[in-house]
Chains A and B, each alone.
Chain A
Amino acid sequence: MIVRLWGTRGSLASSGPDTAGYGGNTASVEVRSADGTILALDAGTGIRRLGAVIDPAVERVDVLLTHLHMDHIQGLGFFAPFFRRAGEVHVWGPASVTTDLRTRLTRYLSPPLFPVRIRDLDARVVLHDAPEEPITIGGFEVVARHVIHPGPTVGYRISADGASIAYLPDHEPALGARRFPEGPRLTSGFDLASGVDLVIHDGQYSGDELASRVGWGHSSVREAVAFGELANAHQLVLFHHDPSHSDAVLDGLTALARASATTIKVVAGREGDQYELPGG
């Protein structure tokens, strides 16, 4: 399985000289299995560059959305596979009790916010509720679970070729907990991340920043480490970097996270980074 980061920023794209190292594009991650199946995790601004490298001969691409906040869908309208007549794009997103996925996405993908409607895209577009029971997409097994973040939001666990990853880009598992972590049973996202090779997890804030942003749906880097270690994940990729954090700030937060880690390997997600996960 190959995992490639195309956008690691949270909340708002933030390109500029002080963010060039880790990148300014919002959430987008490519996952490829050995059989060539392609998953795009979220559709932030990074998905534009991902779309440009997908071979036009690829017949199907699956886009797995964790939720519909703007930084996770803004790139949808610029994803090249949508504009390939012979292709098929399956979009998965969290279920809502009141409004189907098409209606919710159409709020953005329609005038006046966007000139092209979903029905006018060239590819065949198929929309699905995120799967709460494991399903197979090409060479992958995929499962989604609701996680703590404002509004309907899921995280994903993806397995293939004997390797597994968890993707929880927007996640505040410590919300309301008297002490964190409180153990597997009471920790949002635990089942998704348990024992994975790689967990891509929200690490937007420092501890001081988080203190004034409790309930916004994000984690400090230390909470991300605590979560990853509770889940016994092998490696943590800090993700959803705050748009105000320069490369230097992210270097400092990453050092802080590493200092608090005892078992897990910690890296900060950097646009362009790639992880090759060998099979078991």
Chain B
Amino acid sequence: MAQLPIELILVRQLAGGLAVPTFVVDAAGDLVFINEAAEALLGLRFDEVGEVSFADWTTAFAPHTKGGQQADPATHPLAVAIRQRRPVHGPLRIMSRDRISRSLVVTALPLEGSRGQLLGGIAMFWQPPAK
């Protein structure tokens, strides 16, 4: 596989040192990294799954309704952020791989290079304290 853009390598390295769950995708939307905190939320280990295509991760972690119905994967905030090249912030309910429904808050941003080209995107998740 070809080398990632330097900006994505740096974002990945930054994410690796953060306690905030973080998800990094490339310009095609393919997953290039989740950090350990995100692994705990999603119920998987990045070392086991490796890089995952856009179609696969948006399906696996598609937004869910409170009743457990899966929403359109294209409405995932990170998918919107890179497709529409705008920041997205809001609540998100997902079903982890270990079948636990989690209610999160997510901020997703497109990452643009110095020439304005889309390099990928980053999403950071927050799990609000239980009421």
Q: Give A contacts to B, CB under 8 Å.
A: 94-97, 132, 145-148, 152, 175-178, 184-188, 190-191
A-B complex: 10 closest residue pairs judged by Cβ atoms: A176-B13, A146-B6, A190-B3, A191-B3, A185-B1, A97-B114, A95-B114, A188-B6, A186-B9, A185-B4
Q: Give per-residue flags for B52-88: 1 if the beta carbon is below 8 A from chain A beta carbons, else 0.
A: 0000000000000000000000000000000000000
Question: Contacting A184 at CB < 8 Å: which of B1, B5, B16?
Answer: B1
Establish whether residues B3 and A148, one from each chain, have CB atoms under 8 Å apart when the complex forms: no
Question: Contacting A191 at CB < 8 Å: which of B2, B7, B10, B16?
Answer: B2
Chain B neighbourhood of A97, CB < 8 A? 114
Chain A neighbourhood of B13, CB < 8 A? 175-177
Establish whether residues A185 and B114, one from each chain, have CB atoms under 8 Å apart when the complex forms: no
Chain B neighbourhood of A187, CB < 8 A? 3, 9
Establish whether residues B16 and A185, one from each chain, have CB atoms under 8 Å apart when the complex forms: no
Chain B neighbourhood of A146, CB < 8 A? 5-7, 113-114
Whether A152 touches B114, Cβ cut-off 8 Å, given contacts A175-B13, A176-B17, A178-B16, is yes
Question: Contacting A148 at CB < 8 Å: which of B10, B113, B114?
Answer: B10
Q: Give per-residue flags for B1-32: 1 if the beta carbon is below 8 A from chain A beta carbons, else 0.
A: 11111110110111011000000000000000
Establish whether residues A145 and B115, one from each chain, have CB atoms under 8 Å apart when the complex forms: no
Chain B neighbourhood of A185, CB < 8 A? 1-4
Interface set, chain B 100-131, CB cutoff 8 A to A: 113-115
Chain A neighbourhood of B4, CB < 8 A? 185-186
In the assembled complex, the CB of A189 is this many whole angstroms from the nearest CB of chain B, namely 8
Chain A neighbourhood of B113, CB < 8 A? 146
Determine the main DSSP class of A at the interface with B: loop
Chain B neighbourhood of A147, CB < 8 A? 6
A186, B114: Cα distance in complex, Å? 20
A177, B10: Cα distance in complex, Å? 9
Of all chain A residues, the one with the shortest Cβ separation from B113 is A146
Task: List 25 A-B pairs, Cβ < 8 Å.
Answer: A94-B114, A96-B114, A97-B114, A145-B6, A146-B5, A146-B113, A148-B6, A148-B9, A148-B10, A175-B13, A176-B13, A176-B14, A176-B17, A177-B13, A185-B1, A185-B2, A185-B3, A186-B3, A186-B9, A187-B9, A188-B3, A188-B6, A188-B9, A190-B3, A191-B3
Of all chain A residues, the one with the shortest Cβ separation from B33 is A186
In the assembled complex, the CB of A103 is this many whole angstroms from the nearest CB of chain B, namely 15
Chain B neighbourhood of A186, CB < 8 A? 3-4, 9, 12
